[in-house]
Structure 1
Amino acid sequence: MDCTQRETHIGVVHNGGCRLKVVKLEAAENTASHETQGLSRTQLVVRRGKPFKLTLLFSGRSWNPRSESLVLEVCLGGLSERIPVRISDRRSCSLAWSATVHPGDVQSRSVTVHMCSPVLSAVATYQLLLHIEDVQSRMSLAVGTFVLLCNPWLKDDPVFMPLDVHTQEYVKSDYGLIYMGTHLNVRNRPWSFGQYEPGVLEACLQLLQVSPQHLRDQDRDYLRRADPAYLSRVVCQMVNCNDDMGILEGRWQGGYTAGVNPTEWSGSADILHRWLSSNCSPVRYGQCWVFAAVLCTVMRVLGIPSRVVTVFNSAHDSDGNVKITEFYTSTGEKLGLSKDSIWNFHVWVECWMKRSDLGASFDGWQVVDPTPQERSAGVFCCGPCPVAAIQRRCLGAPYDASFVFASVDADVVRLIVRDGAVVGRRVDTECVGQRIYTKSLSSDRPEDLTLTYKGLKSETTAAGSSCQQPSKKRTTVSLEASLKIDKVLLLGESIRMCVTVTNRRSRSRVVMQHVSAQVKEYNGSPQESFWTAHRELHLPPCQALTLHHVIPHCQYEAVLAGDHIVNVAVVVKDVRTKERVLAVREFNMSPPQISIQIEGGDSVQVNQEHTAHVSFTNQLTETLVGAVLTVKASGLLQEDQEARLLILEPGETIEKKVSIRATSPGTKLLMATFSHSHSPSIVSRSFHKVSVVTA
């Protein structure tokens, strides 16, 4: 039954006095008033601290409040509260549940009750009972259920956001962008949060019901669900499956034949549907952006404003010393000897809330990171950690401030080792947290959040028991090396780079230059070098030399997949003094683009057929063998569509025309992938946003 028509048919029930026929939950009016339209087709969904209506239809005579009492009762697990229905003009909510009837409605056979929850009520599904009582009898009726969510539109709610543009973007919007790649070549991919897809609300509520906190003590869990900080920590733990019946299983190495390659996901709804329909078995597989996007969906559904944030050059500090150590050979090859690492990008979520446990200075955006990296209080979750605490270097703030701070601002200690001994050392204070991006308000442009985490370099903070400003000292060196990539590179092009070596001394020097190129995953250690160069240089006093290097496509195509990163390092060694310096650069290469166009524009109507044209043109100089163009779209296509060509010559185009039909309103994503058998690991992906509206 559509929730807009939801009502409880009582038949004719009486307690010797008034006769109750129907209880209507007025879902259409309530969901419009509570900003919950589309979240459920079967349940009444309202927000805490705001009155909602239910209508009692009596048969025979009307309710007589002088001789008959109406009492509503809300039940949550083993908890319940009776709410006497009072006659009053006031509909304001307080710290307790309330139910009022306007004096003018009392004599009518249709009585409208305005019911309101406390602003700090638990987020959950409530049972609603109605009792009709007089001096002789009592009649109790099960009215039904309703879902209560956080209320970011209510000033007294800890998740309140004052501006409509913010609630529209961070609560109601079902579409977002996730930034990926490297800080030198930022790419984005759209994501469908899908909170209005059928079954998503039910999956989010079930997530709370199967959490360890609820299974241990359901009544205590219900009582604590009023706190958004508690909710965010529970959900963060449950998005990964490492400790519980969580949603996603992570995988960063090996194949994905037992599940879905993380790069194939384009929305949260499919993941949540799979988890719920499999009796809460983990969905395979996720990586950081998938974990974060699913968490963002759940938090928006629960009413907590949230946004997906990408940190470029994000440090993973495994030992808590707020430093990252990297090891290189004397010829520039990076070694996987450290448990610390730097991810070229890492994605987490910021959730908006007051922190009553910490004080007003820590209110606002909080980092919540569901990717299972390190344990926090014994479980794999991270946060909520106030962004303000990171900017102020309050490393003792709960939760996990030290780990989050290291992610955005740790020093990187790079050691050159030879025969087990350290022969060179460089400290990089700028590498980590190069850019921190999120989607802008009402725009697909990135918003740079770097200063909200790191502040201005000239800023200082007051010392305190839990706040500290790490010192960052610069040292003067006599030999310097720098490494530069000419431009953003397209897969299939040659890699062109230049190394500049500078002699700061007033005498000539003879140095050896060693350059090494390696492939690495965005979050892992590099593989063995696939290209090296070595050269002796004569450096005049107080001068610099620049050398250019080219890596042809044929030397990297066999090892470099579309989502991989290239790590290039140069070690310059003074032949006489044995002094060594190191320069490092990591970059990603962009795959060729796929064209996607919708006939008539990108806004389509529900249940109407539209045509999409998808094409890929071979812009490389070589022939591609075994070309495959695949089109898929959850909510637009019932099954994947493919086009194949045995040979795709340079300049030739492969295309596919598909018919799409949307079954529900909202933002949908059309995803196209192109691959070929010559380099099967190199795959191009493109996404196209489609806005679906009702007729």
Structure 2
Amino acid sequence: MMNRGRERNVRDAAQTTYVNNLRSNFTNNFRNRRSAAGGPEIGADCVKVENVELYKSENAEAHHTDRFVLTEESLIIRRGTNFFIALRTDRVFDPAVDDMRITMDFGPTPSITKGTKAVMMATFGDKAESCGGRWDAVITSLNETDIVLEIASPSNCPIGIWRCSVNTGLVENKRMVSIKKIEEDIYILLNPWNKDDNVYLSDEAERNEYVLNDVGKVWMGSYKEPKGRRWVFGQFEDVTLPCVILLLELSDLPHEDRGNPVLIARAISAVVNDADEGGLTIGRWDGNYADGTSPHAWTGSLPIMEEYMNSGGQPVAYAQCWVFSALTVTICRALGLPCRTTTNYVSAHDTNSSLTVDKFFDSKGEEIVGGPDGSCHDSCWNFHVWNDVWMSRPDLPQGYGGWQIIDATPQEMSESLMRCGPASVEAVRKGQVGFMYDTPFVFSEVNADVCHFREDTQSDWGFSRSRMNQYHVGRRIITKRVDVDDDVGDSDMWDVTADYKSAEGSREERMAVFNAVKGVDRAQMLYDFPNQGQEDVFFDLVEIDQIHFGQPFSVVVNIENRSNEVRNIDAVLTANSIFYTGVTVHRLKRAEGHFQMEPNSQQTLRCEVRPEEYESKLVDHSLVKIHAVANVVQTRQTWSEEDDFPLIKPPLDIKIEGETIVGHPCTATFSFSNPLDRPLTNCVISVEGPGLQYPKILKTEDVNPRGFFTHSESFHPRRIGERKFVAAFSSDQLADIFGSISVSVSSP
């Protein structure tokens, strides 16, 4: 036992040193890029390697990594695809006399038995072949002192930075006496182009979208009005791969497990947030971002990663779910793991593993926060953004591979860390909550039933269930469409709800719910809970589709007494401003009353909210929740319903002046009209564009009430091709004003 403990301490110390060295090297290299750009040899008779050529650009093109900026200084390749290097020796290599072996090392303590070290004898041949998960090296060309080697890596080898050395010696003594260490980093990534890799994605259009597309969208808004926000993923920029590798080192994933996409994805979902291991970003949902950057101010992943690396690995403030998700896309696509952002509208957060969202109200219709005993904090987020990653699942029964859900937003602990997934989308759709990982939690997010309980003195436990809503959660699940890109509208929106759940109320959907309930003891109690009382009065809360800033809105309930008797009704209507997580911030208005309805009659209740009653009380996303509660005195029938909607904000208009030619000056102008009758203060605009403009966050002047905002920024395009310029405006009163434009850059 003592020996094992001593070995673990040695291993931990080696890992700590390894991570510290990586962090220091990555930070220094990044700073140098922004401000600017062999071992002992013994044995006189042994052939010695003097120079090494990694064919960085040629290998990158063959491995679909040529868009990485770091290919100028590092070899970036994908596992399972052969690559070439060239050697120059001090004399002609003679296979009858000379012995040459290639060593590949990974991690702080490389081990052949763990798959983190490979030693290959360089032999003559036509093609290197990785057989049985082993590396292979073949000399394909020998021209006097110039040697070309083809190297085959296994399609399941660990990913990250590998180190290579060429060892030479004499055949007669079978001892390597000269070592040439290759100083350049060799990044080995996952390979969705290789059929033998578990992340293989057969469709070229999908590979282009989910691996190679460096600018996309994250969907927010509401299920009635989804709104795609442009985001610069920037997975090919110079800061990204070093940042990603450092984050993997901070995870609890052993180096020998870094060839398994399931475990890689799980590790990524943990290190994007800082909850456990000091990861990339800090989450905050209370609207107070004065000591950091508002989540709404980010336009892409690069400024976050740059700040992280410049600070030597300090978590960056602040993020919310769409920022966590977008960063996850950047990390996954950089590593070669196909990934997309996915938005679940009306997303349940089940905190007590009941597969339901339970809300409790007192006799006056006011919500009891925390429930009767203060321990129930279930909620419905207006929307929640997670990620889907593509992989096979050899650890699950056949048929559960494909898209897998991971979630980097820290919500619930999973195996002692804030992480979630990968949970099979197919398992979620079928209610197979027993499959790894975190499937019950994800199932609840898309398919929980909402239970409302109202205080009832005649009930044994003090409450009676007023409603179980089977259709409220998971109203719509959205991602970006493949091969469609829309700068000004949302024609690139793709509704994928049917992949996650069958149609609400259908036999298949109810079967999935009951299948899940069978596996969760706590859920069975609530689903069997009796719903007492005669229900002969019909209530309908009218949903609000679209309200622009400055417009009034009304909470409207239509009531119909379908009985042949008089009914006395108590009703409460409320409107609150909320965070997108569903947390109430301010009461906007409340109306209550007691009235009588004649038999077989109809009546409409209405509560109007004027602009001056809501403008100063709105928070992030400008979301409003309306809620109605009613009670029929004669029959003890209780009813409650809720709805939420965002107030529509103006778009940020972007115009480009000047010819977009590499190295030539251009100007981008950003503008919008303030829809509020009050000034916008502490104004900030964030701008960036891969190949156009490095990320900037700039303070600007206040905007007058109903005034016009405009700001211009000069830039010099750096790379040719189709590029995206993305910008976002934030202020204390109004945030998340964003826009994007496509730019075609030509060569000089």
What is the TM-score with the length of structure 1 in the denominator?
0.89
Structure 2 residue aligned with 1:82: 119
Structure 1 position 560, deviation (Å): 1.5
Deviation at 1:555, TM superposition (A): 1.2
The answer to whether the aligner puts 1:659 opposite 2:690 as a matched pair is no
The aligned residue for residue 204 of structure 2 is 164
The answer to whether the 8 A contact 1:392-1:467 is kept is no
Residue type at the aligned position of 1:207: L
Contact 1:365 1:386 in 2 (8 A): yes
Q: How many Å apart are 1:21 and its aligned residue?
A: 3.7
Partner of 1:633: 687
Task: Provide the C-alpha distance between the structure 1 equivalents of 2:549 and 2:298, rounded to a whole number of angstroms.
Answer: 22
Q: Quick one: structure 1 residues 17 and 206, their matched pair in 2 at CA, closer, same or farther if it must change by over 3 Å?
A: same
Q: Give the one of 369, 374, 377 matched to 1:339.
A: 377
Match of 1:392 in 2: 430
Residue 12 of structure 1, CA deviation: 11
* Closer/same/farther in 2, CA of residues 28 and 303 from structure 1, 3 Å limit: same
8 Å CA contact 1:152, 1:161 repeated in 2: yes
Cα shift readout 1:453-488 (whole Å, capped 9, x = no counterpart): 112423276998998699989988311211124540
* Contact 2:77 2:188 (8 Å CA) reproduced: yes
Q: Secondary structure at 1:563's aligned position in 2?
A: helix
Matched, 1:249 2:270: no
2: distance between equivalents of 1:493 and 1:101?
74
Matches within 5 A, 1:355-504: 355-417=393-455, 421-422=462-463, 425-444=466-485, 445-456=492-503, 457-459=506-508, 477-504=535-562
1:563 positional shift: 1.5
Q: Which is worse superposed, 457-466 or 476-485?
A: 457-466
Change (3 A) 1:421 1:608: farther
Shift of residue 548, structure 1, vs aligned partner:
4.1
Distance 1:161 1:274 in 2: 33
Find the aligned partners of 1:599 and 1:667 in 2 and give their Cα distance.
15
Whole-angstrom distance in 2 between the partners of 1:646 and 1:234: 44
Distance apart, 1:185 and its partner CA: 2.5
Distance 2:273 2:346 in 1: 23
Paired amino acid for 1:257: A
Question: In 2, distance between residues paired with 1:160 and 1:455?
Answer: 27
Deviation at 1:287, TM superposition (A): 1.3
Where 1:232 maps in the other structure, the secondary structure is: helix
Q: In structure 2, what is the Cα distance between the partners aligned to 1:465 and 1:516? A: 34
Q: Which string of whole-angstrom CA distances, capped at 9 and with x for unpartnered residues, describes residues 134-177 of structure 1?
A: 22673221123311111010000000000111111111111121
TM-aligned CA deviation for residue 393 of structure 1: 0.7
CA distance in 2, matches of 1:466, 1:480: 29
CA contact (8 A) 2:218 2:322 kept: yes
Unaligned runs of 5+ in 1: 3-8, 214-220
Q: In the superposition, relative to structure 1, how do residues 349 and 15 fare at CA in structure 2: closer, same or farther (>3 Å)? A: farther
Contact persistence 1:176–1:191 (CA under 8 A): yes
| Contact 2:672 2:708 (8 Å CA) reproduced | yes
Once residues 532 and 48 of structure 1 are traced to their aligned partners in structure 2, the CA distance between those partners, rounded to angstroms, is: 61
CA contact (8 A) 2:41 2:179 kept: no
The alignment status of 1:36 with 2:59, answered yes or no, reads: no
Q: CA deviation at 1:68?
A: 1.7
- Once residues 625 and 306 of structure 1 are traced to their aligned partners in structure 2, the CA distance between those partners, rounded to angstroms, is 40
Report how far residue 689 of structure 1 moved: 4.0
1:128 paired residue among 141, 164, 169: 164
* Alpha-carbon contact 2:621-2:736 (below 8 Å) kept: no
Describe the shift of the 1:410–1:605 C-alpha distance in structure 2 as closer, same or farther (beyond 3 A): farther
Residues 350 and 486 of structure 1, relative CA distance in 2, 3 Å threshold: closer
Partner of 2:248: 208
Distance 2:317 2:535 in 1: 49
Distance in 2 (CA, whole Å) between partners of 1:527 and 1:222 is 45
- Mapping of residues 565-576 of structure 1, within 5 Å: 565-576=623-634
Is residue 2:274 matched to residue 1:235? no
The answer to whether the 8 Å contact 2:46/2:168 transfers is: no
Structure 1's consecutive aligned runs of 4 or more residues displaced over 6 angstroms after TM superposition are 9-14, 460-476
Query: Distance between the aligned counterparts of 2:230 and 2:192, measured in 1?
Result: 25
Count of residue correspondences: 669
1:685 maps to 2:737: yes
CA distance in 1, matches of 2:723, 2:365: 47
- Tell me if structure 2 keeps the 8 A contact 1:191–1:669: no
Q: What is the SS of the residue equivalent to 1:557?
A: helix
Structure 1 residues 599-621: Cα deviation after superposition (integer angstroms, max 9, x where no partner)? 369xx44433222222223456x
Q: Is the 8 A contact 1:174 1:667 kept in 2?
A: no
1:429-460 Cα distance to aligned partner (Å, 9 max, x none): 11111011111112242211211111242327
One-letter identity of the residue aligned with 1:44: L
Alpha carbons of 1:467 and 1:302: their partners in 2 closer, same or farther (altered >3 Å)? farther
Taking a change above 3 Å as real, the CA distance of residues 519 and 631 of structure 1, as seen in their structure-2 partners, is closer
Asked whether the 8 Å contact 1:15–1:133 carries over to 2, the reply is no
What is the deviation of 1:410? 0.5
**Equivalent residue number for residue 590 of structure 1:** 648
Aligned equivalent of 1:51: 82
Moved more, 199-208 or 89-98: 89-98
- Which residue of the partner structure matches residue 16 of structure 2? none
Aligned residue in 2 for 1:218: none
After the TM superposition, which residues 87-236 of structure 1 pair with which residues of structure 2 at under 5 Å, given as runs?
87-94=124-131, 95-102=133-140, 105-134=141-170, 135=172, 138-144=177-183, 145-213=185-253, 221-236=254-269
Larger helix fraction of residues? 2
State the alpha-carbon separation in 2 of the partners of residues 157 and 626 from structure 1: 52
Q: 2-side partners of 1:204 and 1:381: how far apart?
A: 17
Inter-partner Cα distance in structure 1 for 2:674 and 2:355: 46
Length-normalised TM-score, structure 2: 0.83
Equivalent position of 2:619 in the other structure: 561
Q: Distance in 1 between matches of 2:206 and 2:428?
A: 23
Which stretch shifts more, 108-117 or 13-22? 13-22
Which residue of the partner structure matches residue 489 of structure 2? Answer: none
User: How far, CA to CA, are the matches of 1:232 and 1:646 in structure 2?
Assistant: 43
* Distance in 1, Cα, partners of 2:680 & 2:224: 32
Displacement of 1:530 in angstroms is 2.4
Distance 1:410 1:485, change over 3 A: closer
1:187 Cα shift?
1.9
TM superposition shift of 1:182: 1.9
The match for 1:63 among 89, 93, 99 is: 93
2:390 corresponds in structure 1 to 352
- Compared CA separation, residues 674 and 279, structure 1 to 2 (3 A): closer
Identify if the C-alpha distance between structure 1 residues 19 and 423 changes in structure 2 by more than 3 Å, giving closer, same or farther.
closer
Question: CA distance change for structure 1 residues 630 and 373 in 2, over 3 Å: closer, same or farther?
Answer: closer
Deviations 1:354-389 (A, max 9, x none): 111113311111111111111111111111111111
2:588 corresponds to? 530
**Following the alignment from structure 2 to structure 1, what is the Cα–Cα distance between the partners of residues 495 and 367?**
30
Report the secondary structure of 1:405's partner residue.
helix
1:615-634 Cα distance to aligned partner (Å, 9 max, x none): 223456x4x44677653313
The Cα of 1:550 is off from its aligned counterpart by 2.2
Structure 1 position 424, deviation (Å): 5.5
Q: CA deviation at 1:317?
A: 0.8
Contact 2:232/2:300 (<8 A) preserved: yes
Q: Structure 2: any 5+ residue segments left out of the alignment?
A: 1-28, 31-37, 111-116, 371-375, 486-491
Q: Which moved more, 1:346-355 or 1:462-471?
A: 462-471
> Cα 1:90–1:637, aligned 2, differ >3 Å: closer, same or farther?
closer
Structure 2 CA distance for aligned equivalents of residues 274 and 72 of structure 1: 38
Code of the residue aligned with 1:151 in structure 2: it is N
Contact 1:239–1:295 under 8 Å retained in 2: yes
CA distance in 1, matches of 2:744, 2:74: 23
